[in-house]
Amino acid sequence: MIVNLPYWTRVLKNILYVALILIGLYIALKLSVFYMPFLVAFIISLMIEPAIKFIMNKTKLTRRTSSIIIFVIVSIIILGSITWLIITLFSESSSLLQGLNDNFDKIYIHFQNFMNTFDFNKIHLSDEILGVIQSSGSELLNQASNWIRNALTGVIEVITSLPSIAICIGITVVALYFICADKIYILDQIEHHLPKLWVKKMRIHLKELIQTLGGYLKAEATLVLVSFIISLIGLYILEFTGFNIQYPLLMAIFIGFVDALPILGSGTVMIPWAIICAINGDFNLAIAIVILLIIMSIARQVLEPKLVRKNIGVHPIFTLIAMYTGFKVIGILGLLIGPIILIIFKNIFASLIDQGVFKTIFDKK
């Protein structure tokens, strides 16, 4: 048997190339978590870079002076927002955690009342199936209660670890200043210490990533931030006007998180919330929540065409698979991170995907 050595050498090189890239991505993800303050500072620096350039062009100031002006403004906004968030989150999380059992007892009572009053004979269900439905409903409520309790406990634990938070915030702020003020010097140092071929390839991939992933994340972050701000202001207005809104900040954060997930949206939270309010007899609150959802949807429909100028080219089914994979690997946060990693993979392996992954690796040329 004659072995086609050149063919299998090429196949092994392609497989090794893909494996090395996957290993590099895994290491990069681990390092990004480890050096999170610097990653956050880098992302913020990208967001405020247009403002720095605007001041430089309009006032003819140096980059360092323009960076200091924007840095001071951004730092005041960030530190003020974080302080308010920590105080309010701690207060609302503690209050919700204390009344969690009472709230789920009320939900369980409503569920039992529904099971007792609904005429299941109309849909011809046996007693065994009814028992399964009742036990499954109770188990689902218990699991939801445990998940919310663990999440709130985790939030409180994170908030109470103030020294660690203060150190991370301090490092992020200092790193943000140096990245903004000394951007040219940092780029020169990177080019000086890395091989020219690496720098060339990094420029190409970083440019493509910033155009695709960076643009997508910036657009989605803007849309989510708008949804969060509208929901937060709307919920606080409802609370001040006498509606039964107990945890406006937590609800606004939850709505913003769900709105950030591809395929899903804020309606996934607000429509069931409005239905529950209507079932409980609070029709005014149900109508108010629906109106708030309509306002958020209109704002998103107006902004989305302007921010998301082109499709990232990922079919919703693959996005859904990425969300599920992320959820199974790292939990709830994976729902958000999974699609982001998918976009990174698509960008890095664009040539392989366009030509056909296995076709490129194994086809004889």
Mean of pLDDT over the chain: 75
Q: Residues 298-324, buried b or exposed e (16+ Cβ, 10 A)?
A: eebeeeeeebbeeebebeeeebeebbe
Structure tokens at 63: 């980059």
Q: List pLDDT tens digits, range 327-360.
A: 888 777 777 777 778 777 777 766 666 666 566 6
Number of H helices, E strands in the chain: 16, 0
Q: How far apart, in Å, are the Cα atoms of 139 and each of 109, 145, 335?
A: 14, 10, 23
Q: List pLDDT tens digits, range 115-154.
A: 666 555 555 556 666 666 666 666 666 666 666 667 667 6
339/354 Cα distance (integer angstroms)? 19
Banded model confidence at residue 1, pLDDT cuts 50, 70, 90? very low
Banded model confidence at residue 35, pLDDT cuts 50, 70, 90? confident
Backbone angles phi, psi at 233, to 5 degrees: -65, -45
